[in-house]
Amino acid sequence: MLLPATQWRVRGRVVDVTRGAVMGIVNVTPDSFYDGGRHADTARAIEHAKELLKEGADIIDVGGESTRPGAEPVEIEEELRRVVPVVARLARETEAVISIDTRHADVARAALGAGAHIVNDVSALGEAGMAGVIAEYGAGVVLMHMHGTPQTMQEAPLEAGEVVDTVHKYLASRVVYAERAGIAREALAVDPGIGFGKSSEGNERLIAELEVFLGWGVPVVIGVSRKRFIGVRTGREAEGRLAGTVAAEVLAYERGARVLRVHDVAAARDALNVTRAILAARSSAA
């Protein structure tokens, strides 16, 4: 039986993921699918990040480029302008573990220089130089699967029958690539990329069979927060998808996910606390 990872070592910090680490989303963008524009300047982003920490976030994930389906690329200079001041202030004013959500090596370098600990890379080290930057800083990294690009990923999404094998093979190859580039296994995490080029049924299959991603001994990150596949099942727009989100997060944790990337930190933390208690009661009765 494969067991979930218990720790994630990120630039001299150890994140205990046993109880489920909550990664709170801070999008410093005008166009993210759910919270675009709400925290699009440094002051509002910092205020929001501190509120997420009070609610129980273990990690703050700062992003300056939307990767929702159909999103247009952002110039590097603009992405830097958005995220680096936020990371720098969070590093000065809090003890938070900070993640930079970027696929660009120049942004990763600047954010790590400003105090970030993790690079959350939707391209899984796809840009030349990214792996070297992460290895240089001893940072953690999330290797995510994306089918295509933000502009194309929903044109021919992966279906349920092919998605688990396709994603598993891809992530296995990226784990090997990362280690060969000098990134320690203990610094790696993997993310199957829910919503990134998968059909609704494909997303559901990935969560249902999440245990297959435990074999590398690294934390599995899952990001389902208010995504479209939840709307398909509930008929609700993003604002009304919290209950469906929490249901998916609980099932992902039960199947081995140990980092939840979320908009709603308090709800995720409460759900994890109850889930863990019930699972512990089942184990003690066995």
Domain limits, the chain: 7-285
Residue 153's pLDDT is what?
80
Closest CA to 23 of 111, 128, 116: 116
Distances (CA, A) of 145 to 40, 54, 112, 126, 232: 26, 31, 22, 11, 22
Can you give the pLDDT of all 286 residues of the chain as single tens digits?
789 999 999 999 999 999 999 999 999 987 554 454 565 689 999 999 999 999 999 999 999 998 777 777 889 999 999 999 999 999 999 999 999 999 999 999 999 999 999 999 999 999 999 999 999 999 999 999 999 888 788 888 999 999 999 999 999 999 999 999 999 999 999 999 999 999 999 999 999 999 999 999 999 999 999 999 999 999 999 999 999 999 999 999 999 999 999 999 999 999 999 999 999 998 777 6
Residue indicated by tokens 């993790």: 118
Answer whether CATH 3.20.80.10 is correct for domain 7-285: no
Residue 254's pLDDT is what?
97
Residue 33's pLDDT is what?
47
Q: Are the beta carbons of 253 and 275 closer than 8 angstroms?
A: yes
Burial 90-119 (b: 16+ CB within 10 A, else e): bbeeeebbbbbbbbbbbbbbbbbebbbbbb
Question: How far is Cα 10 from Cα 98, in angstroms, rounded to an integer?
Answer: 10
Which tokens is 116 given? 């970030």
Question: How far is Cα 186 from Cα 188, in angstroms, rounded to an integer?
Answer: 6
Residue 69's pLDDT is what?
74
Residue 53's pLDDT is what?
98
The conformation of residue 115, written as its DSSP 8-state character, comes to T
H or E element at residue 8: strand 7-10
Which tokens is 90 given? 């969070």
Residues involved in catalysis: 227, 261
